[in-house]
Amino acid sequence: MRINVLTLFPEMFSAVTGSILGKAAEKGLLEFNFINIRDFSNDKHKKADDYPFGGGPGMVMLADPIFGALNSIDAKGKKCIYMSPRGKVLNQTMIQELSQEGELTILCGHYEGVDQRVLDYWEMEEVSIGDYVLTGGELAAMVLIDSVARLIPGVLAGEDSAMEESIYSGLLEYPQYTKPRSYEGMDVPEVLVSGNHKLIRLWKFEQSLELTKKNRPDLFDTFVKNHGDFTKDEQKVLEKVLK
Ligand code: 4G4
């Protein structure tokens, strides 16, 4: 997948290139193209923003440098995303769909955002990573890039996890333990070292249910409503959690 990022702060993306995703790029699984919007300013002072028409606080990013940057990568008709707190809120379903794309272009806004004509002409899809405000779209873009890239086959080399995530999908993940079996007087739950795989599976299911009920009652209710075919033992566990 080719990922174009239009930003006033390309150096921020060393957080992405200096990570597991940088390795994936070296392997040719990803191709990053960071574009400094300021390089396309036609102003003698490399200006990239101006005051908003109609007044109001702050500055608005100029259309012209962004048009120049998007024309330079021939973005017309391609998937363009604008990171914005007024966008559709990102979720794992959107992330899965985006991971099927061959090329993504992500625009990072600053100040009060970009001139609306950029969003209209380039048919930008506005995406938010959650209901909070950041100083710029860069951190939001990195969240989107990371969540999409990890679904591309080969990116999570060795870890091979992204595919078989959560056996009981729709629930939160059960707690994990590793060596040593006893640490500072705290022991790993006995069942996990019992070798009884059926009991281990049921314990993980129960933990997932309890955690989801406590932290995400919305997900828990959906899971209970849609619960399909369970074994007798799984039904018993579910009834115990519903109590
Ligand atoms: C567009 C409009 C995304 C972009 C205004 C970007 C939060 C998110 C920005 C702004 C962002 C998000 C400066 C308010 C940049 N903040 N939730 N900031 N602001 O995805």
- Residue 111 backbone class (left: φ over 0; alpha: ψ -120 to 50; beta: rest): left
Residue 160: is its pLDDT beyond 90? Answer: no
* C-alpha 16 – ligand 1 centre gap (Å): 19
d(CA 213, CA 190) in angstroms, rounded, equals 23
Specify the pLDDT at position 92. 95
Using DSSP's 3-state secondary structure scheme, residue 49 falls into: strand
Atom of ligand 1 nearest to the CA of 83: 3
Confidence of residue 223 (pLDDT cuts 50, 70, 90): very high
Atom of ligand 1 nearest to the CA of 143: 20
With a Cβ cut-off of 6 Å, ligand 1 is lined by 83-85, 109, 112-113, 128-130, 132-134, 136-137, 140
d(CA 25, CA 17) in angstroms, rounded, equals 8
DSSP per position, 150-170: TTSTTTTTTT--STT--SSTT
Specify the pLDDT at position 157. 82
Residue 43: is its pLDDT beyond 90? Answer: yes
* 104-118 pLDDT, tens digit each: 999 999 999 999 999
d(CA 188, CA 183) in angstroms, rounded, equals 8
Dihedral sign for Cα atoms in the order 3, 9, 10, 12: negative
Q: Which of 7, 59, 66, 83 to mutate to test the pocket of ligand 1 (most atoms within 8 A of CB)?
A: 83
